[in-house]
Structure 1
């Protein structure tokens, strides 16, 4: 376990490390973990969007507002409001601090900005108020020419002529909390998500029997974005002949 000494007298740190028992250090760690897992307000935003954190306190000249990013390794000051003057310490390319009310705004937020943030208002040296915010940034399913992100592929097993089934795979670029689901009407056929390997493409296969003439819908979803594409088995599996048919579902993808 790593012990981080925050004593105002750094020379005492080695002594404090020897004196403090492991159980006490564990208590410090548990308290820190509780802070990271608790918050006053949750902010969910799509990558590239804007989100504002507001103190909701009438500013006074004698106030000092410290905005911090909370991590398991400790706090990091990112912005400060003092005497109706603002200072951006970190993320200068995305942060704006309102001069009138001390609100902190992320402009064009990115996934790496997800996490816990807090503000502390000091009146002189005494704490006046504070609040914790949990920002969760989700990616949207992008549509980019020349970079397929959402593809259906139908395969007919040439090696097994007796197998008349058509195998369809729905794929999408993976990300945090992405779920991929096949529907037959309102009925869920199968579903998959993989939060452990978000850098990998998420794919979900579907077997269509030759006598099945229905339509199927593949849905990709995360908490802020939903995309659905429907295929007709008669179009995608005509005659169930051996070979491969592949096409992007979003116009412009190739």
Structure 2
């Protein structure tokens, strides 16, 4: 019995074919496909017995080649990832394993201005690239041209990734944020003129202490204005009474 394995990686929603390596089945050949640690039977071909069937919870996604016995999984999802075992019975007995990895489609990372650090440096613009992912084995990275500046990786599902970056307002370099897994990536390019111009405006905005002082000054000015108006009205009425009495 010959035993060897093959590793395959596929994107969720795509199709993957597990090839038997057989050019054409013989009349007395029997092919069995099993899946998972329990070796659950999912497909079977027996020319002698007239058997050509698929089984199990995702049988509607399985397609068998009646000439070679190869198995195709269509519209694959992460629940279909795992080990597939092929057994060919005939004049000789052989087997083969396939380790199938399925990766979910990646979201596009989002670049935004980090308002919490907007006033920390008058010459730099603080940015953050973030992504909420429901997939495993992903890396979020900042690139300057083709060079990696920083990166963060995660192997768990359902996690929020974020990565900061500081650039000068007049920086002319090309920056991009990339989210990738072993077989695909999503890229967002930084528009410094748009994001950092907004940040620069906010850098000139008053902080909490200055805002309180300005509010207090506005209130004092308002009180003084009202007092002046009341004094002016009373003075005008006083002058009018003097004129009437005279």
Larger Rg: 2
Paired residues for 1:115-154 under 5 Å: 115-123=82-90, 128-142=93-107, 149-154=108-113
Higher normalized helix content (fraction of residues): 2
**Residue 156 of structure 1 pairs with residue 115 of structure 2:** yes
Can you give the 5+ residue segments of structure 2 that lack an aligned partner in the other structure? Answer: 204-246
What pairs up with 1:46-195 in 2 under 5 angstroms? 46-57=11-22, 58-71=24-37, 74-83=38-47, 84-90=50-56, 91-123=58-90, 128-142=93-107, 149-157=108-116, 161=119, 163-164=121-122, 165-174=124-133, 175-195=135-155
Cα deviation digits, residues 133-167 of structure 1 (max 9, x gap):
1111112225xxxxxx5321112337x74533422
Change (3 A) 1:46 1:162: closer
1:161 to 1:52, Cα distance in 2 relative to 1, 3 A: closer
Q: Which residue of 2 aligns with 1:234?
A: 193
Match of 1:23 in 2: none
Partner of 2:160: 201
Q: Once superposed, what is the RMSD of the aligned Cα atoms?
A: 2.4
- How far apart, CA to CA, are the structure 2 residues paired with 1:190 and 1:212? 18
| Structure 1 match to 2:233 | none
Shift of 1:80: 0.9
In the other structure, the counterpart of 1:223 is: 182
- 1:161 and 1:53 map into 2 onto residues whose CA distance is 57
Q: CA deviation at 1:66?
A: 0.9
3-state SS of 2:60 partner: coil
User: Equivalent residue for 1:34?
Assistant: none
From the superposition, tell whether residues 86 and 173 of structure 1 become closer, same or farther in structure 2 (CA, over 3 Å): farther
Distance 1:162 1:171, change over 3 A: closer
Shift of 1:177: 2.1
Q: Which deviates more, 112-121 or 234-243?
A: 234-243
Q: CA deviation at 1:62?
A: 1.9
Gaps in structure 1 of 5+ consecutive residues: 1-37, 143-148, 244-254
CA shift at 1:39, angstroms?
5.2
Residues 1:96 and 1:228: Cα distance change in structure 2 (over 3 Å): same
